[in-house]
Amino acid sequence: MSETEHIDDEREDALEGLGYLRDDQRFYDGDQFDLDARLSLTRVPGMSTDLSDISEVEYRKLRLERVVLCSVWTEGTATDAENAMAELKALAETAGSQVLEAVMQRRTTPDPATYIGSGKVVELAEVVRATGADTVICDGELDAAQLRNLEDRVKVKVVDRTALILDIFAQHASSVEGRTQVELAQLTYLKQRLRGWGGNLSRQTGGRAAGGAGIGGRGPGETRIETDRRRIGHRIAMLRRRLQHIESTRASKRADRIRSMVPSVAIVGYTNAGKSSVLNRLTRAGVLVEDALFATLDPTTRRTTTSDGRVYTLTDTVGFVRHLPHDLIEAFASTLEETAMADVLLHVVDAADPDPVGQVDAVRAVLSGIGAGDIPEILALNKIDRLSDDAIVTLRSAFPDAYLVSAHTGEGMGELVDAIEARLPVPSRRIDVVIPYARGDLMDKIHHNGTIELIDHTADGTHVIAHLHPALAAEVQEVCRGD
């Protein structure tokens, strides 16, 4: 066996281990080149940064961050708190961390000074020292004072949930728009939490003056942290202008679809619920599929047709999560606008998750926040191939109107497609005309954008009875009157 064949076999074994290439899944998910790139970057055997002779440069051994998770349980049941901690663990591992320990506290509200209270901070510091952790991740959004107080007492880096999610987005963003949106969200988050130590708080001086004396050094001056905040503000303004330019391009494409009256379906759902897999199964789009949180961030739109020939679009959107950072929602406004302007929402839920009801509630809360709460919704419970018969019965009772599907095996996808086609907006104007044979372009538009009741070929032309959108109906009737 050649070296190339050996590498290909290893690649297929890795993908099969992740559940991507079994049976006919390769046909629907495509070649997954993006996933190949991720695997190739992480599977490099025999590499080490340890050197026997360190003379001029200090080389540190590459390793995952060792983290301790910290959570404040303010509402819900103990099961809800455990599920939230499990999700935080998954987020931390997705960001590239090794979780060593997790601590949880029951409080009515988080402590305004240290998030978990002064007594618990001492216990947390002991856990950090005992485990050798270098980072603490808190399951909440902390302000600058809470971050500073925790780091001063625990003596390691402290990261909150918002910064963790932003870090994952920064790792997975690939397009220019995605990277710009993530940078905008990160800078907006950082601007409110700038801190300075030592020289960072000293006054600036000018010329040859030193110590605040001499020409150019008198007066209150300006602190370094104020300069940093101003520079971040300038960068934020530049990123907003760049996003406006990108949004104008997206708006022109959206206007073309609106003029053509092409119905749109937005695939929404919790992160890692299988939205990209559903898109691949329905359209063979070849979008990256990976068992990880926020694996795909950039929206993907594909055209497909109904059983009667009408064209509509399917858009895979960014995944949601509980307590999605507000800065992230604001930065991804142009992307989320695709969801708010859709005709139908295909809400994909991970049926194998311990708390599918919580996922549904979290997604619907975000949808309401972006103005998409009133759009018709189709609920699809994905990954039923992982469930037992008893679990499926429980889900049917909890979600009686949902469709139970498996994007991996294709089970239930036919019924889901029928439901999507039934929910698409039906053209409202009925026409009964004879179209000249020379106007084949009009017949093509009718086939793609209308619902046809009758087609009959006569001596004068094609007799058509169909339901069309008002603009197309007016164009057809104008042509027929002119002839």
Q: Which residues are annotated as a binding site for Mg(2+)?
A: 276, 296
Give the residue ranges of the annotated binding site for GTP: 269-276, 294-298, 316-319, 382-385, 406-408
Q: Cβ distance 310 to 445 under 8 Å? A: no
Are 213 and 222 in contact by the 8 Å Cβ rule? The answer is no
Dist CA 474 CA 428 (whole Å): 12
Structure tokens at 42: 């992480």
Kindly report the CA angle at 31 between 29 and 35, in degrees rounded to 5? Answer: 90
Task: Give the Cα separation of 380 and 372 in Å (integer).
Answer: 18
CA pair distance 466, 73, nearest whole angstrom: 58
**Residue 336: C-alpha distances to residues 283, 306, 353 (Å):** 21, 25, 24
Q: What are phi and psi of 282, to 5 degrees?
A: -80, -35
Binding residues: 269-276, 294-298, 316-319, 382-385, 406-408
Both tokens of 124, joined, read 């947390």
